[in-house]
Structure 1
Amino acid sequence: MASGTTGGTRRRLIWTFGPSGCAISLDEQAWRLKVDDGFVEIEQKPLEILLVLLQRAGEAVTKAELLDAVWPDVTVVDSSLPTAIAKLRRALGRHADLVETVPRIGYRLTSPTPVTREAVPDRAQLGFKPDMPVPGAAGWRLVRRLSRGETDDVWLAAKGDARRVFKFAETPGRLRQLKRENAIARLLAQAPKTDAFVLPQARALDRLPAWLAFADAGSDLTQWLSAHPDAPLEQRLAIVASAARAVASAHRLGVLHMDVKPSNLLIGDDAQVRVIDFGCGALTTVAPDLTGLTQTSLTLAQGASSGGGTPLYLAPEIIAGQTPTSASDIYALGLILFQLVIGDLHRPLAPGWEAQIDDALLRDDIAQAAAFDPQSRLASADLLAERLEALPERRIAQAQGVAADEAAARLRQAVERARIRRPWIALSAVVLVAGLAMTSFAAWQAMRQRDEARRQSANAQAISDFLADDLLARGDPALSGMASETLLQATQRAQPDIAIRFRTAPHVAAQLYHTLARVYEQQSQWAAARDAYDQADAAYGRAGEGRGKSATINRLQHAFMEALSYQADSLDRARKLLADETAQLPPPDRMDPETQVWLSSARGMLSLADGDPKTALAQFGAAATGADALPNLFNARLRNDFHQRHAFTYVRLGDGKSAEAEIRPLLAAQMQLLGPKNPDVLILRLNLGQAYLFQQRYTDAVRELTSVLPELRAQLGPDHRLVQLALGARGQALGMMGRYAESVRDERALVDIALKSQGLHSYRALTALSDLSTSECRAPDLNRGIADGQTAYEGARATFGEQEPLTQAIGAAWAQCLIDARRDDQAFGLLQGLSIKAIGDLNGNPNWGAERDLMLAEIAVHRKNWRLADETLTQIEPVFSAKDADRFEAALFQSLNRQVAANTR
């Protein structure tokens, strides 16, 4: 047995030890220490250490063994064990030397007399009898003992016509539990609607027996079901929904119940369900307003023991000793839902339980609430309540969804027929079918009104008809008149038909515009995507849904696209879209979870475009975590996409190792899900090459990027944004290897594509031109390098402004070319006023300040200012002497050092 904190089932003992004639005793049951015929006040951890030492009296117990026994699965500071030993010795007083330190090993208990032990005798619970007065509660008399508590005496008491339930505690251990429940009750009292809980109305915690007094709030669920065995299913479901609302209210305050079971759910005469007994409860966060409470009064969830709670209702992760979360309470609610549906509160959720539930929707609700994996459970108890409350509408939507499924099948058939006539059909099918799938899912989730369910089903059919007849039918040259029509051409030709075909159905038009905006965005057709997002927003407004969730997500995705495109004025548009939308959204604790995911995604992309990858990493992480918690709304492919952005942000931070660690499992998952040639898989392979680049594994980077480039061209077209990224990354890797001619070849191809597809005043064209300039100057081809560098710098200054990190980074790269050509004064002017942090963040290079100083040292050498050059080179030597230093810069550093040394002897 490890310690007294575990939930073991062995009989508790009283241990006796110490000098002859002066017995010291430890009562495991009451957790009380008696020294010299008097009880000693001492915290529980020192007592647990004493118990371990008693179990191995006379032996040396290592520090590691004590830490593992008393603080299992918890990382504690180095001083925790010595501090607890010191408290134990103080409590032992003149017998402190019984706890002996064993140097370099641990501690040992030395007792002059043998250590004895005896079982704790069974204790009657306080010996109360009906009609006895309640100690410390004037006028209240006991009526009858209730059977709700397993570790406390719980009695119904009366004072005239008033009724209260008293929970008593006779031992210090039980008193701690009452204090915890009282402390949590103070926190629950802050809930907007406190009638969901039964909170103490009075208390006496400074005496033994201690007690808490509660209102008599009705029968518990077990008693209620016994009295109403034929209660209709709707009434039973309403009970679970009401209980889930109450538990969700506690969760929002950071409180876990940790013992949700039928006997802790009371049903009053008003049919209100109330949750009782937070004695096993824990906090997910520290409550700063609960001052003056002892450490044993409250338990943080990460340190909570699995020993509390009722075994049948404990979630699997709690039984396994893992940290409890809100999902643990949701598991118990899912089990209670199952039991109430079948009418048996003793039935476990054993394998094959699904056969006992005829209703497919309820079967799904139970499965998602009581899933074995906590990550697969419903995201909140509120969501379980919403599903149960909307069950009638969901059943109608389920029936209506058949039409949507048939429409989706018809669309897929049209895709297959068109696939052999247009190569782009196979590539875009997933995007287009996803547009219908969103509508079909909306029909399925139409939980509020029957008319809405029917309307969504009709929308799905209308969208299917448009995609199949107006867009995909253009795969037939006889209809389109264009034998080589591309996806972009077909989409652009079909888009005007939306306004005509759906002029009386703006909601359908909005969804179609929204879907087409996503298609354009994937094709990097920024202007077309912007127009489609705007048209979707306008159509949502005409439909009276301008502030609805779909319209909100449309605007957030629009903001994401603007930040991603990084064109002239696009960042300003992204900032305004995001600021305007954020001002209209509710606080995070009341925001729709799906909306929160898209908000975090948009914030992440804007932060990345703004040169703040640390914030981007946090936002993309929040989006990925939020999507993982909503598997019904975000499928596996989309969830992996959110994680891909998080992984890529490590690349932007220059942390190639972390990027690779996150990319590899994502790549395996997406490849298994989508196949080796899917664009999502190719993106991850591109990111893997970039991760190699930032680990200075240039050969691996060139190999991976060379392998993926033909696939990107074949799947997405030769000019696609991702093809450009791959060319740029390979060109950079080749340059790092000193293969400048090959680097110039890749970067020149990239510049040509970017200028043709996006024009000079675009992020891609300007960065590509700057990288090309650097490679040309290193080749060396100084004349072309300086000319291209100047064009890139002037274009960035005109497009983004002189103070933008991108403009400064391009100016710094051009300055190096100018220095190589001995145009030092012009270069020195460019280097003045640069933001080292901003450029370093943008480049993912924490040592960029040293690169700037290297350029200044070269100027000093040209000007024969040997002292300044020597001082500067000395300061930056660690960077350019490192094994992973850029070979061109390392060679330049060594050359400058030799020149300085030759002139300072």
Structure 2
Amino acid sequence: CLCQRRAGAGQRAAGMTPGQFAQLRAHFDALCELDPAAQDQAIADLSLPEHLRVQLRVWLQGDRDDRVQTGVLDQLAESIEPVADARLGQRLGPYRIESLLGAGGMGRVYLASREDGRYQGQVAIKFAGEGADRRFFLREGRLLARLQHPGIARLLDAGEADDGCPYLVMEYLQGQPLDRHCADRQVSAAERIALVRDAALAVAHAHALLVLHRDLKPANLLVTDDGQLKVLDFGIAKPIDDDSAREEVTTARYFTLRYAAPEQVLGEPVGTASDVYALAVVLFELLTGRHPYLPEGADARSLVSQALTRQPLSLRRALQAAKRPWPLGEARLRDLDALLEKALLRGDGAVGHASMAAFAEDLQAVLEDRPLSLRRTPMIERTWRWLRRHRLAAASMTLGVLGLLVGSAVALWQAQLARVERDSALHEAERAERIAGFLTGMFTAPRPIENQGAPLAASELLDRARERLQDELADDPLLRVQLTATLAETYRALGLYETAEQLLIEALAVPLPDSDAPQRSGLLLQLGRVLSFQARWPEADAQLREAAELARQQGDLATLAQALGLRVTAQLNLQQLDAAEPLAREALSVQQARQPPDPQALRQAEQVLAAVAMQRGDLASARQTYQQSADRIRADLGDDAVERQMTLNNLAAVELRMDLPEAAAANYRESIRIARVRLGPDHRDQALPQLGLGMALRVVGSTEDAIAQLREAVQIYRQWDGVDHPATAYAQLLLAETLWLSAQAEQAREALGTAPKVLYERNGPRNGQTCRASMLQCSCGWRRTEIVVQAGSVNSAPGSR
């Protein structure tokens, strides 16, 4: 760590404007290296008010005092360095110290081996420095004990040596500092972003446990030999909630100036945004080879005045100046530029990116070519980028955009090829060529005269495919039906339910031979799912019933189980609990009979039965099923599995009904996080857990946070389903109820909008949601005076799915 100037020599004096401070700081940077006589002469020549001259002299005198103390310490260190290290060979409990790994202002780190015979292993032992403030060292141990994350070097033990010097036993890691690792191995831009994302995730864990690092830099970010990033050295870390530690920011002077946020250098209160700033600087340097504020060769002491008076250099300009290529595309360059600017910007009231977890999420979004949370992206761009993220190559396609369409089309062809006899192979090969030709023609870039050189919008690509299906595949009805079904699924995934429904109805109208009967049950299943997304439960149930009967006749257990599971959802929404339970039990029985078994499908069938138990009031059983399922998904597929996202939502819904709002809120938040990571911001599957989180926050009294979550959920449903959808109406109802309970009657009436009418028309007059909406409408319309309502009277968890 680098000893810095006293922060008091850079603090803004009371009554000084930001402009005066920036001016004075620039003068300080220019004069601090001069001798005292030259400083006095230069101050006399400056056109400054007298009180600013006095302040500048105070700063410069403090800087001289600081350098005298630092110089003495340096001389002492040099004088004792050649002396033999008494720690070498010393025994500490089961460990014997072997060699010195490194030394700094905060302490010395040694390599040690375990010698008690229980097991072999090496550790790193850190001793407090002789001249260092031991409060920092002891606090480092206490804070590290809180942190258990794979991206943070683990604390194994702690103690005190015979001479009274405290020590920490840490896991021993072999690797390289982040910057050297990237340079030596010529790591790609995407891998560099991913490594900084890993660091952000680790530090976000620390922030969640109220720990600030305060010295993030490449030297404290180690990449192990197996490629894992580890955050090191919490030597000057502090608790976020420890106000008494603020004075230590001024006196410690152990942070590294190049990566320190201006507020940290000036001795002002620091927060999570300060750690985000440091990682943003690290990433900027890894990608461009230079600092975002400091010109090449500039003195780091000018950093504060640069950061408070200028914009950071844009990533685009820095790459151009360094003549470094950017391989990740224009959209991601624009997003990352915006993200780094947000994290780095100071001055004029800017406070940076306050959330390390959100910073990590946005870096992941850049890697996956998803829109950022901090930048509102038009719907058409989000759609286009979603399609681009899910592309798969097919035959000779040169531009694979609709990954779902391409992958499904090729899979359908391969399944058909496996069923035919050898003498039909030529026919199927010709069919594959037709699929490839169809897809290639669909994605071929238009000639400039046809489209003025602009890229086709996603909706235009889909519409073009739909037109070509009608024109080019009339002579092959089975292939036409297969591609129509795949195209319909693409429309459904984008929330274009009416178009998907129309395509499926057209596909069902195409006459097919009896040998292709399985195709019809699959189409009916798809249609039932699309109708379910539109909350048209009676129509959905009718299609799903027919699909189940056909699948049962054909012995198609997979389709049968899916149809039965969706029928359970329909019956529950129709409040037909007695009809739902036998369907759920049959669906589970069918899944258990499948060979080979499908673990994911079996879990889903178990969760359907848990949903029925939840509706019956058997909450303990439902919670146990959902928790076990979530644990299995995590073990099999990892933390970010999409399947785990909705399972956690369902688990949280049960917990909220069990009056466990804190547990529910934690699971809702994790569900939302997975949705954002895997599906992108503002995806429809994010809205349901956001509704639940809003309700959980309402129960614990965090009304403002609850309202914010509910507003965002309403907006997502409006984007995906429109204003006349029951899901949108229900979200509006929950928001309006919460506003009403917080005595915001006018806002509640506005939020409720057309929800009573939509719920009445879609659910009927006796539906619980309809009755609640009608009651609230009456209250908002006729009772304008302030009233008191018991919050528990209308609390209910949004439904599980």
Q: State TM-score, norm by structure 2.
A: 0.47
Structure with more relative contact order (C-alpha pairs < 8 Å, separation 6 or more): 2
Larger radius of gyration: 1
Q: State TM-score, norm by structure 1.
A: 0.42
